[in-house]
Amino acid sequence: MDTPATSNTIESASYTKTAESLTSSETEYTELPAETEDAFSPPAVWEERLELPTAEEIEACNNTSTQRSPYIAGWLKNDKVTRFTKYSADIKADYMPFATYCSPVNLTLDYSSLKDKYTNVWNEGGIGMYAGLQRREADETKVGIMAFWDIYCEDEDGNITTITPTRVYPESDEDTSFDGEGEGAHTLVDYDWKPGKWYRMIIQCGTSETTGNTTVEQLVQDLETEQWTYLSKYDLGIKDIAFTGDVAMFLENFNPKTSGEIRTMEIKNARICPEGSENWISLNECEFLQNFDYPGSYNYGTDGDTFWIITTGVTGKNGGISEPKTLTVK
């Protein structure tokens, strides 16, 4: 079987195994309980990056908003290699209220190996997959998530074949499919990430010992304890697949009833490993923009080697950003 030999908690800090946003009708959102996250005081630097809303302003926004807070995306520029098989980035959230999704990685999959058999290959997501860390809603669950869009292949006779990636770890009989923004498969695994702590996420390709298809694994390391956790693994159903192009990131609020809350995300040490190589290449340049034009306030920027983003659904607090902007870290 293509599964780890032990539990999903990996003690070795040197582990280098070779090898959605959620959608829901806004009418289904429910009221959430008061926050009960362990006490943590975000650093004062955030007050310099955005005029922070008051508790009263946040509550008023949460009670009246019918839309999510600003959705900020960034595209890390990769003009160095055509195909790569590993991506790694460090991620931290100082503000992570209910319904927060911090995604350090959205990847395009290279389907060129299918072009000899099919005349057209595509998916409905525009990219191939995404992954990150979420704090869910009323049950307070915090999870790691990895998702793939279905792949559609059309032959010269117009026949369409759908290829859906299959989860091979953790083993489960549950339905992992999603829809609403295209169709595909995703896995959510409990992972108790904490505000103010740095985590390293690795997404890497391998080859299935049973099918010969390309696999993709997701691992997270707590950089304070140096403990790795093996979250999930998928068989893509296709051979000879790798990642290609730029790498995207995003910070999302997925429930309008928490849109007034402050959310932050920081990313550093973004790197890719070219196919057939063990030498990592840093991605230091990123173009940021606001997607979907949700109301609220936001800012983004850099601090030495780190990209940062801050958002709230409370209006009138902007940090001066109005247009897409390309930033570079050291």
pLDDT at 23 over 50: no
8 Å CB contact between 79 and 284: no
Q: pLDDT band at residue 182, thresholds of 50, 70 and 90? A: confident
- Average pLDDT estimate for 175-187: 81
Q: Which residues pair with 168 in a beta bridge?
A: none
Q: Are 60 and 260 in contact (CB under 8 A)?
A: yes
pLDDT for 139 equals 65
- The residues that bridge with 308 in the sheet, in sequence order, are 266, 301
Task: State which amino acid sits at residue 6.
Answer: T
CA dihedral (187, 242, 309, 146) in degrees, to 10, reads 0
Q: Which residues pair with 147 in a beta bridge?
A: 130, 186
Q: 202-259, pLDDT tens digit by residue?
A: 999 999 999 999 999 999 999 999 999 999 999 999 999 999 999 999 999 999 999 9
Phi and psi of 220, rounded to 5°? Answer: -130, 140
- Answer yes or no: is pLDDT of 166 > 80: yes
- For residue 28, is pLDDT > 60? no
Q: Residue 63: enclosing H or E segment and its boundaries? A: helix 55-64
Dihedrals phi, psi of 58, to nearest 5 degrees: -65, -45
Average confidence (pLDDT) over 267-276: 98
Q: Is 214 exposed, middle or buried (0-12, 13-18, 19+ CB in 10 A)?
A: buried
Chain segment 38-68, per-residue pLDDT in tens: 578 999 999 999 999 999 999 999 999 999 9
What pLDDT, on the 0 to 100 scale, is given for residue 38?
Answer: 57
pLDDT at position 319, please? 73
Is there a contact between 153 and 238 (Cβ–Cβ < 8 Å)? no
Output the average pLDDT for the chain: 87
C-alpha distances out from residue 110 to 47, 122, 214, Å: 42, 10, 11
Rg of the chain, C-alpha, whole Å: 20
Of the candidates 151, 159, 147, 166, the one whose C-alpha atom is nearest the C-alpha of residue 121 is: 151
Confidence class of residue 180 from pLDDT cuts 50, 70 and 90?
low
Mean predicted confidence (pLDDT) in 77-102: 97
Over residues 100-157, the pLDDT tens digits come to 999 999 999 999 999 889 999 998 877 899 999 999 876 668 999 999 999 999 999 9
